[in-house]
Amino acid sequence: MRPMRPSDAEDIYRAVQDPEIPKFTTVPADYPIDLAIEFANTRAAASFVNKTELVFVIEDARLATATYPYSNGFAGVMSLHTIEIPNHRAEIGYWLAKEARGHGICTKAAELITEYGLMTIGFKRIDGIVDVRNEPSKAALLKAGYEFEGIMKSYVTRRDGSQLDMALFAATKP
């Protein structure tokens, strides 16, 4: 994992065209290239400075092949967001490019960012809030050491007005 760079915008844009990403995240289904450019160029850095989100790009050298559609093994984006410094907590958020899924990349990245958040930054708790239908994401958090805490009924309102139940997971400082 590494900090986001402006050159990541094209990979971000291409990856989020996969309908599974907006289905399970807050990324809009009609995500335009200019939003990817703004995110990679300014928003990620500004959120770090403002202590509201720590955004990282996930890379895996195993993916950097001639047939892989993204540069330098780009696999996706992971962050610690919804940071509450007085409460020593944050929330983990992530998405992976379609071609990067199923290789254990998300689990390893979640382990790394969670250890960083708990041991280096000093958070006492990191929440993982996942759409109840997203079985791979729930499995990745469990494998990364998160504990399932329950279902939050009607926790998220989608753009179409529908309500979603979310599964709550947490990693806490030992």
Task: Look up the CATH number of the domain holding residue 99.
Answer: 3.40.630.30
Find the mean pLDDT for residues 42-52: 85
| Structural contact between residues 92 and 126, judged by C-beta atoms closer than 8 angstroms | yes
Inside any domain, residue 47: yes
* pLDDT at residue 124 tops 80: yes
Domain count, the chain: 1
Longest dimension (CA), the chain: 47
Predicted pLDDT of residue 42: 87
Q: Coil, strand, or helix at residue 72?
A: helix
- pLDDT tens, residue by residue, 63-120: 888 778 888 899 999 999 999 999 999 999 999 999 999 999 999 999 999 999 999 9
Predicted pLDDT of residue 63: 84
Element (H, E) at 107: helix 105-115
| Structural contact between residues 142 and 92, judged by C-beta atoms closer than 8 angstroms | no
Inside any domain, residue 51: yes
Inside any domain, residue 101: yes
Neighbours of 47 (CB within 10 A): 17
Tokens (6 digits) for 66: 């001639």
Inside any domain, residue 140: no
Q: Could you tell me which residue, 59 or 161, shows the higher pLDDT?
A: 59
Domain that holds residue 94: 2-123
- pLDDT band per the 50, 70, 90 thresholds, residue 160: confident
| Euclidean distance between CA atoms 147 and 127, whole angstroms | 10
Q: Coil, strand, or helix at residue 60?
A: coil
pTM summary value = 0.92
Predicted pLDDT of residue 48: 83
